[in-house]
Chain A
């Protein structure tokens, strides 16, 4: 019976090791990929805005309060019109996805830590 019990435990640990490693690889790689895509998109949007000289409008904020008050509406309107809307939408979606992925990762980090600790202890023994 002891032999069978050992065999069961070994199967469970083998299964869990594969699952945990795969889960870690998937989680980390998805965070890296989504983050990397987000950064690339952000850089491309910023480059586009610099080329269009749209960002020069932000110089307005160096002026007096009254001038800012007077022109802020126009500035926001122009910014909205000149923004590459599709890219910004994708960037927002990517940011939300990244945030969710990181939150899930943080939420499960305790569980994953415990699993890794248990697995290390077991494989060290055998």
Chain B
């Protein structure tokens, strides 16, 4: 069996059309600050039976339904796309991070899975009719699937959101990433068991217990032995073979081998490649450069083929079931947001930060869609449920960033000068000496924040005597670590300047008092460097000290951020 010249033409043409539309819509969505993957799915819906197939059925059929051979070829290539997608999903999991999480991250991870899984499982098991189950023999498997589907978190979308909100490198960002990685790992393991169970009902001979043993054995073997082997092999290959060709080849060879093995034992191919990916990603010898090459190549060429192909197979309008979509959405939000927020809250975070984490973990993006597609291909879910799952994935992904942003604005733990600045703690001073000014600042802060004046004043003076806190360009930051929960700043303006023994011998005109929690030394360093960085220009300082009112000063400071 081979492709005729016309088949080959159509095949290549359809791939270029898919890639063109995928990129086009991806870029539009990126411009709207949304995940690119959503654009790719929309491209599929437009090119598929939903829009193009309805309006121009001939064009649609000649592009995507020309002959059986072309469809098979396209399916083969989208399979390759999803396998590669799972390879990089594995590579990006930081195993050491998953294995040594902080207490809060562990609780978030665990509740973030158990809670949504439980809600999904019991809803589907007790009320299967509302969740679209058709074959009652599959009740248990189906309930397990719904549980898994609800407990997925999509790492790439989460990472992108955190980056856009500028909290990637923060405690919340760290917690979300650690928990999301754990979630991914456990989610795929459960799902692989579910897929294995579907296979069981048909022709496969492995019993459930032996299936679980084989899966666990495979995970252990890859993560213990293959991982060590990879760690020795990569530097060897980098030295002896051409770079990056040798390493790229090695990674894909291993990945496809893993995929072939799990497919053989009756669990989908993507599971094997995912676990092998984890083992590869753990190697310290894997260069950042190599990672990026694989990521670029897979996410820009192969993954879009897969995501667009989803829309090509199904009519989204015909199969849209409002009740089903609503049920899935409600369960998805309830399970994940409650589970993760509760976990964060029990882990010691405040309510607001907990909600940020809850909504952050709620985006399901690409991973959910992969999961839904496989379930659909295996015949576990019908078109309507599949459409509901895709829509649920899209809605949770899109809503995540704006909701997080809303809570971020209300967040209490503020680690930026402009956020800590308050009208009441700004003074326009006339005093002539450093001690008088510090006294004035401390009095004001002690009154406003109900602190003991003597403690604050003594600590600040003690620090001042050690080495001067005068920086350059009329800026001085007297500071102390005291027994408080959240950092406090206060500002004094003295246009005539006060001798502060500064590095550049200039008098201090803009003085910031900085008090930080004694048990968190890093907060002090963060705020000190933040303030020093923002006010390292004479023009900025001159502009600030020309302010006549507190609110004027605050608005000038806010403009710097």
Partners in one complex: no
